[in-house]
């Protein structure tokens, strides 16, 4: 945004042949033109102070406002006032939007001064500055209540009313291109100012329904398995080494299971949230192009930096308008859940890049499939990890053994134990699919 202001100020400076400065309505400096003149009088104390301290004194402000600049709709000429430190005459171009003054463009005045035509052209540029300042003020408004109402309402008349209220608050921006971001877990303030987040149109904190359950293999305070293995496997079967793993039957003899990691570690790692209720932060970010999500990436990165090292971010697919914000929130929060569950997807995950996790995050969180409950017990963490890596490598024994750093015979032994515990046949494509989905879903 600052670069846009600078370009417009430079445009006015070139148009009128004299350096211009831009201040907001509170006389805070926003941008200024280059001063390359040898004339020392081009920098009087007021202009020097404004550039060095980015503000003007109350006396200078009162002097300038006494000439009606807050009500003016065209250029205002202001004479010098040495007692106030104003040693040069000035021209003020009020920056307005829809009748409201939002700032001022200042130029040093000298005879014969710029022509009427040039001043008219400069006022047109000032109007463009006014549009930018108005956009920034809208972005700085606290729209957390309106955004929260949309994201928590059920589809129906309440959702439609919430969307209408947010659309009214956003103004013309409501019909633009947006991406919704979910940062979780969020430990900051309830509603940080959108001004602190580049491109943010609205933000709000929401309850986090991410991976708040037990970690794979975690134990409760009483030493029991939090994953609730429950009854034994749904099916029983004779243990056998999967032929798909090696082209032949594996043997358990002569093999020893590898060293298991500490209980409580999920296969492949991943985020494990702390106890107690969790929160997330929803951020509606303006985009200029659906092909360029960098504003959403930048906003997510900045907020993650304030939320702590455990925070990740999910970004929904870009959409125009506000009608599908509920779907956007599903995508953004699902992407954040996936980033927690699978570190390779994070710490910033786009919904469009989740692959199979787009389906997995849509599954109801109704508990672990009975066939794999026993496998997810703490005592079998290494077996669960072995099965997941085996399935990740499309059942190729050589690649799996290399990835795990174990001998093939050790791999065959572990896979036969997996079959014993689950009752699943790893030579069956459907059984492999069930096991793979169950292991991935357990991360969520």
Of 35, 30, 88, 78, give the one whose Cα is nearest residue 55: 30
Contact 177, 320 (CB under 8 A): yes
Which pair of structure tokens corresponds to residue 180? 């919704």
In a 10 Å sphere around its CB, with 0-12 CB exposed, 13-18 middle and 19+ buried, how is residue 299 labelled? Answer: buried
Residue 34 CA, distance from chain mean position = 36
Structural domain boundaries in the chain = 2-140, 144-211+271-360, 243-269+368-443
Task: Choose from 94-103, 412-421, 432-441 the range with maximum mean pLDDT.
Answer: 94-103
Counting every residue, how long is the chain? 444
Taking residues 11-20, report their average pLDDT: 90
pLDDT at 315: 94
Taking residues 163-180, report their average pLDDT: 88
pLDDT at 277: 63
pLDDT at 337: 86
Instruction: Compute the mean pLDDT over every residue in the chain, rounded to the nearest whole number.
Output: 76
* Separation CA 27–CA 41 (nearest Å): 21
Task: Provide the whole-model pTM.
Answer: 0.51
For 308, phi and psi rounded to 5 degrees?
Answer: 110, 165
Taking residues 173-184, report their average pLDDT: 91
List C-alpha distances in Å: 306 to 82, 111, 128, 187.
Answer: 47, 53, 34, 8
User: At which residue do the structure tokens 């849509």 appear?
Assistant: 362
Condensed to tens digits (0 to 9), the pLDDT of residues 105-126 reads: 999 887 778 899 999 999 999 9
pLDDT at 76: 94
Confidence of residue 217 (pLDDT cuts 50, 70, 90): very low
* Separation CA 48–CA 170 (nearest Å): 37
Q: How many Cβ atoms sit within 10 Å of the Cβ of residue 353?
A: 12
CB within 8 A of 308, min separation 6: which ones? 185, 187
Of 188, 232, 249, 245, give the one whose Cα is nearest residue 377: 232
Q: At 8, is the secondary structure helix, strand, or coil?
A: helix
Torsion angle defined by CA atoms of residues 246, 251, 256 and 257, in that order, rounded to the nearest 10 degrees = 60
pLDDT at 38: 54
Confidence of residue 267 (pLDDT cuts 50, 70, 90): very low
272: pLDDT strictly greater than 90: no
Confidence of residue 365 (pLDDT cuts 50, 70, 90): low
pLDDT at 251: 33
User: At which residue do the structure tokens 């009748």 appear?
Assistant: 99
CATH 1.10.1760 fits 243-269+368-443, yes or no: no
| HSE, side-chain direction, 13 A CA sphere, residue 97 | 16
Taking residues 211-219, report their average pLDDT: 39
pLDDT at 210: 58
237: pLDDT strictly greater than 70: no
Condensed to tens digits (0 to 9), the pLDDT of residues 316-356 reads: 999 999 999 999 999 998 899 888 888 888 789 998 888 87
Contact 119, 125 (CB under 8 A): no
pLDDT at 148: 92
Taking residues 427-431, report their average pLDDT: 78
Condensed to tens digits (0 to 9), the pLDDT of residues 24-74 reads: 888 888 888 765 555 555 555 555 555 555 566 777 788 888 999 999 999
pLDDT at 279: 87
Confidence of residue 18 (pLDDT cuts 50, 70, 90): confident
Confidence of residue 239 (pLDDT cuts 50, 70, 90): very low
Taking residues 244-248, report their average pLDDT: 38
Condensed to tens digits (0 to 9), the pLDDT of residues 127-154 reads: 999 988 887 776 556 788 899 999 999 9
Torsion angle defined by CA atoms of residues 203, 209, 212 and 217, in that order, rounded to the nearest 10 degrees = -130
* Separation CA 67–CA 60 (nearest Å): 12
Tell me the fold of 2-140. Answer: Beta-Lactamase (3.30.450)
């Amino acid at each position: 945004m600052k670069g846009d202001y600078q370009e417009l100020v430079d445009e006015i400076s070139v148009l009128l042949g004299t350096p211009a400065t831009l201040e907001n309505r509170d006389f805070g400096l926003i941008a200024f033109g280059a001063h390359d003149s040898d004339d020392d009088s081009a920098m009087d104390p007021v202009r020097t102070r404004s550039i060095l301290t980015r503000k003007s004194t109350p006396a200078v402000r009162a002097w300038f406002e006494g000439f009606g600049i807050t009500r003016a709709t065209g250029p205002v000429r202001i004479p010098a006032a040495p007692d106030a430190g104003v040693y040069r005459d000035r021209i003020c171009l009020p920056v307005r939007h829809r009748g409201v003054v939002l700032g001022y463009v200042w130029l040093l005045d000298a005879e014969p001064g710029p022509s009427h035509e040039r001043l008219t052209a400069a006022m047109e540029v000032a109007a463009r500055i006014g549009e930018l300042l108005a956009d920034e003020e809208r972005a700085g408004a606290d729209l957390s209540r309106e955004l929260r109402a949309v994201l928590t309402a059920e589809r129906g008349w309440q959702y439609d009313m919430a969307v209408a209220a947010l659309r009214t608050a956003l103004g013309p921006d409501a019909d633009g291109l947006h991406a919704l971001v979910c940062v979780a877990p969020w430990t900051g303030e309830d509603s940080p100012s959108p001004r602190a987040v580049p491109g943010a149109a609205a933000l709000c904190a929401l309850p986090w329904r991410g991976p708040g359950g037990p970690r794979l293999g975690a134990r409760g305070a009483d030493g029991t398995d939090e994953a609730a293995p429950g009854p034994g496997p749904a099916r029983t079967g004779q243990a056998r080494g999967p032929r798909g793993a090696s082209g032949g039957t594996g043997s358990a003899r002569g093999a020893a299971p590898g060293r298991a990691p500490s209980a409580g570690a999920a296969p492949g790692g991943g985020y494990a949230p702390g106890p107690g209720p969790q929160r997330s932060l929803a951020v509606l970010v303006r985009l200029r192009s659906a092909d360029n999500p960098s504003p959403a990436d930048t906003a997510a990165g900045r907020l993650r930096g304030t939320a702590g090292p455990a925070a990740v971010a999910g970004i929904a697919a870009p959409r125009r308008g506000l009608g599908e914000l509920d779907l956007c929130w599903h995508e953004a929060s699902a992407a954040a859940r996936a980033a927690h569950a699978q570190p390779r997807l994070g710490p910033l995950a786009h919904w469009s890049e989740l692959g199979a996790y787009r389906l997995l995050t849509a599954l109801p969180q109704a508990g672990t499939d009975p066939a794999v409950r026993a496998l997810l017990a703490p005592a079998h963490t290494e077996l669960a990890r072995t099965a997941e890596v085996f399935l990740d490598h499309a059942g190729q024994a050589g690649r799996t053994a290399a990835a795990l750093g174990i001998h093939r015979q050790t791999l065959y032994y572990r896979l036969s134990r997996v079959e014993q515990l689950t009752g699943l046949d790893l030579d069956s494509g459907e059984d492999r699919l069930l096991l793979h989905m169950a292991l991935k879903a357990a991360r969520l």
